[in-house]
Amino acid sequence: METVATEVSIEESYKKLSDHNPLMVQRFGADPYALVYEDRVYMYMTGDDFSYDEKGEVTENTYGNINTINVISSDDLVNWTDHGTVYAAGKDGAASWGNNSWAPAAAYKNIDGQDKFFLYFANNGNGIAVLEADTPYGPFTDPIKKPLISRDTPTCAEVTWLFDPAVLMDDDGSAYIYFGGGVPSPDKAANPGTARVAKLSDDMIHIEGDPKPIENVDYLFEDSGINKIDGTYYYSYCSNFSMTKAAEKELGFDQGEIVTMKSKNPMGPFKRCNPVLKNPEHFFGLGGNNHHCIFEFKKKYYIAYHSRILEEKMGILKGYRSTNIDVLSFNEKGEPSASRGTRKGVKQLKPIDAFKENMAVTMSNSAGIKTTQYGEDAVKYGSGDMIVTDISDGSWISVSGVDFGIDGTDSLTVCIRGKSGGKIHVRVEKPDGEEAGVIDLKGITSKFKEKTVKLDNKIVGKHDLFFVFEGEDFEMLSWKFN
C-alpha cells in the first residue's frame, strides 16, 4: 500500500495522533471516577458543556448549568467506547429534584443474585444523590426520590461544600461513602474540618448511622478519593489555595495538589501520607481545580484526573475540563507517591480484534464528528447505545492497535444509514496514510444496514485504523473485518 492523495482536506484532531490524553475529544468530561467491572474500566465524568452569552460567545465555566454525567469505557485504556450522557438532574433528569450533577462516583454490588450499579453525585454543593441501574451505563433511575445526604443529615449542616463523593467497596462486602470539602472561614484554612465518611447500607441507597468527620485533613479543599491498597486505606483529596509558602515547605505539598492520608480502618483515623499529583498547571501550564481518581486495572494502578488541554487546543480558555489517565507511582514503602501528568498517557494494554463487531463510537481519536444516542432507552435516559454522527468531508475516527492477524483480510463490513452517497476511506497509521480501500455508500437508506465490501489491499498485522469520511448526511453504527 502507498500513501494516497486525499480527495478531501483532512480535519485536524484536538490531540496528536501519538497522544492518548485526553481520553476523548468529542466532548468534555471532568471530575473523573473509575469503576472496574468485568475487565473494563467505566469512566464517569461531570458533563462540562459550553455556556454562551447573548452574543453567542463562550463564557466562563461556572458549573451552574451542568446536570449530566458522561460515561465511557475501555478494556485497553486507549480505545474508549462512548456510552453517552446520563441525564442525572434537572427537570429531565433521573433526580429531577436536583439542579446539578457534579463529581460522580460509582460502585456495583450483587444484590439478590443480580449485579446492581450505583451512581452518586453532588447536587452542586448541597447534597449527594444516588441513582441505580442494571448495567454500568444505565438507564439510571432514582430509587429514593430525594437526597441520600443533605443539610438535614446529622453532622452535615456545617459542611461548607456538601459534595464530591467517593465510594469504597471493602473486602468484606461493606461499603462506605466519603464526601465534603470547603473552607468555612480563612482562619480554618489549615484544618477546615469539612470531610465526612459514612457507612452505606446493604442496599447501597441509604446510610447507616451518622456521618463521621475525617479529622486533621491538612488544608482540605475538595475531591474525595478512597482506595484500599495492600490492606491500607488511602483517603485522598485536593489541597486548598490558602497555603502559604511556609506551609507548603513544612508539609511537603503545594496548594491545589492531590494528597493522601492512610489508615488501617475505613473510617479512620487517618494520618498524613504523600502527595500524589500536582495541580494540572504544573504539567500543562493551565491551572484550576484538581480532581482525581485512583484505580487498579490489570494489576497496575492508575490515576485519572482532569486538565484543560482540550479547551486550550480549541482556543477557548474558559475553564472547561477533560479527563486524562497516567500511571500512579509508588515509593519504596509501597505507598502511592508523586506521579506525573502527561499528554502521551498510558500504553495500550491489549489489541483490538479486527474480526469482532466493534462499535463506531469506540475510538482512540477523532476529528470533526459527534456522537449521539441510538435507540429508545438511550434517547430517553441519555446513556446507552451511541452512533457516530455529524459526519462531514475530511472528518474521521481512529482505533489504535487493531490486530488483523498474520493472514490479514481484505473484506470489511460496516453498518451505516443515511442519504445515498458519500464514501468511507479505510486507512492505516494516519488519516492521510496508506489506503486499503474505499467504501462507496451509494444505495444506503435511512435504516441501519450492513454493507460488505472487498478492499483494494489486504491489511496484515497490527495497525492503527482510520475511517476517513467523504460527504455528509450519513451515520455509522459499527464495523468488523471478515
CA distance 227 to 194: 20
Q: Across the strands, what pairs with 130?
A: 120
CA distance 71 to 46: 9
CA distance 204 to 209: 14
The tally of CA atoms less than 13 A away on the side-chain side of residue 11 is 20
Q: Are strands 370-373 and 386-389 parallel, antiparallel or unpaired?
A: antiparallel
Region of 30 (left: φ > 0; alpha: ψ -120 to 50; beta: rest) is: beta
CA distance 219 to 238: 8
Quote the cell numbers at residue 242.
Answer: 490558602
**Which helix (DSSP H) or strand (DSSP E) does residue 158 occupy?**
none
CA distance 168 to 166: 7
The greatest distance separating any two alpha carbons of the chain, rounded to the nearest whole angstrom, comes to 71
Question: Annotated catalytic residue: which of 222, 254, 326, 475?
Answer: 222
* Other Cβ atoms closer than 10 A to 151: 12
31 is a catalytic site residue? yes
CA distance 422 to 81: 25
CA distance 375 to 19: 32
Residues designated as active site: 31, 222
